A and B are shown apart, each in its own frame.
Chain A
Amino acid sequence: MSKDVAVLGVGMHPWGKWGQSFVGYGVKAAQDALKDAGVQWKDIQLVAGGDTIRNGYPGYVAGATFAQALGWSGARVSSSYGACATGAQAISVARAHILAGLCDVALVIGADAAPKGFFAPTGGRRPEDPDWLRFHIQGITNPTYFGLYARRRMDVYGATQQDFAQVKVKNSKHGLHNPNARYRKEVALEDVMSSVLVADPLHLLDICATSDGAAALVLSSMDFARRHTTDPVKIAAVSTVTPVYPNNIIEMPNLATDSKAGVGLPEIGFKESIAHGAYEEAGLGPEDMSLAEVYDLSTALELDWYEQIGLCPPGDAEKLLRDGDTSIGGRVPVNPSGGLGCFGEAVPAQAIAQVCELTWQLRGQAEGRQVEGAKAGVTVNQGLFGHGSSVICTV
């Protein structure tokens, strides 16, 4: 049985700081996706919402919140959360319903209205919660982890701060003409290098902002899709893997890794296993990818992903970047959308937005940032505590 589902429609609310409710952003993205799909809201059989934890109760039950806003229709509903991987969880729920024959067509929505500055844990004294503990007892924020990974690249592979800045320069060019991007301005190497140091060796412009934004997909069975369109973009794989014990790399929000004293390390690490799971499911490899959308919470993390999704061996990411392979026009452009560097992170929308971009690229509709002849693309992302997230789309 084919594991393909069709991406019938995509829609986004532009990223930014708009000062409105996340619900309105989500409704706008959903309406655009429905219109793009040529499907009526009343025909949607499942609403799969990606939850947001910073917008009160409506955010915890996002599926129902969006369904109510669009007008109760009796559709099935789900609401899921996986931190940064929330969107992939919602996509996975919709896809599983379709592949199991429980529904023909589903609407996936993720939206956020984000606070300014550092993400911080929710309130109360909770020493048993690693997220609370790391802030309280060591003052460790999310950029701390980005800084640790970046510095490790410098000490082990000889990467430089200029290499990291060059990722920002590349992505700022990519996002220049993307109407949904928040930052549409060319950034020069000196701009990054002269921005304030946040978490050594990373500057402010190496680290993504937090944004408002929303993304939505209409997914359907291939049979349903054939009645509506020809040659739709397909989702060929969704990887939602957890790590294999022991995960010996320090991960947000933990203060310590798993121990490797009692059990040997797995064959591949967690971050490598995320896209690997998607490649296996799709029967494709990194060499088949025309482009990738990776989770560049920091510029240096984009370089880590090059290696972790198999675009090059460990230690070669800087060379790949310098050679222009990951720029539009290169061998395998990475983040042609502009990535988080141009968007800022709208947590539950982000993994859905990655699939929107693959869809536009594979349809040849990515005006001003088109990867010519794109046939297949991969997204990758990771949620706190071990939520893998990778989607492969083909046409």
Chain B
Amino acid sequence: MPDKTNVPAVEGLFTMDPREPRLLGTRCRACGTYFFPAEKTFCRNPACDQADFEEAPLSRTGKVWSYTSASYKPPAPFVAKEPFEPFAIAAVELEDEGITILGQVADGIGVDALKTGMPMELVLRELYEDDEHIYFTWNWKPTSGGSDA
């Protein structure tokens, strides 16, 4: 029985680097605007009529804009583990990109451990698996070294 292969749950959204994963956005070469998920066909800045994009791995760290929890199992197309375990969700602002991105909070860390403004970093976690693959997504995790930065 061969080992299962680690793959992203959806292609093209993030790198699979287990230590320093990055979300993969794009940046408009003309106006400098970032997009996540990647935008490659039109620039959404109304003052920009260019369509020249470069791939932009986004900052791995940011600060909590807000947070909440999912106490009930979300419906399909989410694939929930059984039994369902509630999880926290954070909206994290990336300073350089000027963009806020949602993600589950890693490792069962609950809302009691979160606060607006708290520094977070990007990690990869298993989402679900089948006979051949383990499917991954991104999570946010409080940065190691304290929460009062």
Q: Assess whether A155 is in contact with B116, with CB atoms less than 8 Å apart.
A: yes
Q: Assess whether B34 is in contact with A148, with CB atoms less than 8 Å apart.
A: no
Interface status of A103 (Cβ within 8 A of chain B)? no
Q: Assess whether B80 is in contact with A139, with CB atoms less than 8 Å apart.
A: yes
Q: Assess whether A260 is in contact with B98, with CB atoms less than 8 Å apart.
A: yes
Q: Assess whether B66 is in contact with A136, with CB atoms less than 8 Å apart.
A: no
Q: Assess whether B45 is in contact with A245, with CB atoms less than 8 Å apart.
A: yes
Nearest CB of A to B84, in Å: 10
Nearest CB of A to B31, in Å: 4
Q: How far is the CA of A198 from the CA of B74 in the complex (A)?
A: 11
Q: How far is the CA of A200 from the CA of B69 in the complex (A)?
A: 5
Interface status of A71 (Cβ within 8 A of chain B)? no
Enumerate A44-66 residues with CB–CB distance to B below 8 Å. none
**Chain A: which residue is nearest B114 at the CB level?**
A151
Interface status of A259 (Cβ within 8 A of chain B)? yes
Q: How far is the CA of A201 from the CA of B101 in the complex (A)?
A: 20
Q: Assess whether A149 is in contact with B77, with CB atoms less than 8 Å apart.
A: no
Q: Assess whether B44 is in contact with A138, with CB atoms less than 8 Å apart.
A: no
Enumerate A200-220 residues with CB–CB distance to B below 8 Å. 200-202
Q: Which bucket holds chain B's interface residue count?
A: 35 or more
Interface status of B109 (Cβ within 8 A of chain A)? no
Given A155-B66, A261-B33, the answer on whether A137 and B116 have CB atoms closer than 8 Å is: no
Interface status of A121 (Cβ within 8 A of chain B)? yes
Nearest CB of B to A372, in Å: 39
Nearest CB of A to B21, in Å: 14
Q: How far is the CA of A141 from the CA of B69 in the complex (A)?
A: 10
Given A144-B68, A262-B32, the answer on whether A135 and B102 have CB atoms closer than 8 Å is: no
Q: Which residues of B contact A245 (CB under 8 A)?
A: 44-46
Q: Which residues of B contact A132 (CB under 8 A)?
A: 77
Cβ proximity bits B49-84 to A, threshold 8 Å, 1 near / 0 not: 000000000000000011111111011111110000
Q: Assess whether A262 is in contact with B28, with CB atoms less than 8 Å apart.
A: yes
Enumerate A272-299 residues with CB–CB distance to B below 8 Å. none
Q: Which residues of B contact A261 (CB under 8 A)?
A: 32-34, 96-99
Q: How far is the CA of A225 from the CA of B126 in the complex (A)?
A: 63
Selected contact of B100 from candidates A138, A150, A151, A248, CB within 8 Å: A248
Interface status of A197 (Cβ within 8 A of chain B)? yes
Q: Which residues of B contact A144 (CB under 8 A)?
A: 68, 70, 89, 102
Q: Assess whether B127 is in contact with A137, with CB atoms less than 8 Å apart.
A: yes
Enumerate A105-138 residues with CB–CB distance to B below 8 Å. 117-118, 120-121, 125, 127, 130, 132-138
Binding site for B on A (CB under 8 A): 117-118, 120-121, 125, 127, 130, 132-141, 143-144, 146-152, 155-156, 196-202, 245-246, 248-250, 255-263
A-B contact pairs, 30 of them (CB 8 A): A118-B74, A125-B77, A135-B74, A135-B76, A136-B9, A137-B137, A144-B68, A147-B69, A148-B89, A149-B66, A151-B66, A151-B111, A155-B115, A155-B116, A197-B69, A198-B71, A199-B69, A199-B71, A245-B44, A245-B46, A246-B98, A248-B100, A250-B102, A255-B101, A255-B102, A256-B37, A256-B99, A257-B99, A257-B100, A259-B97
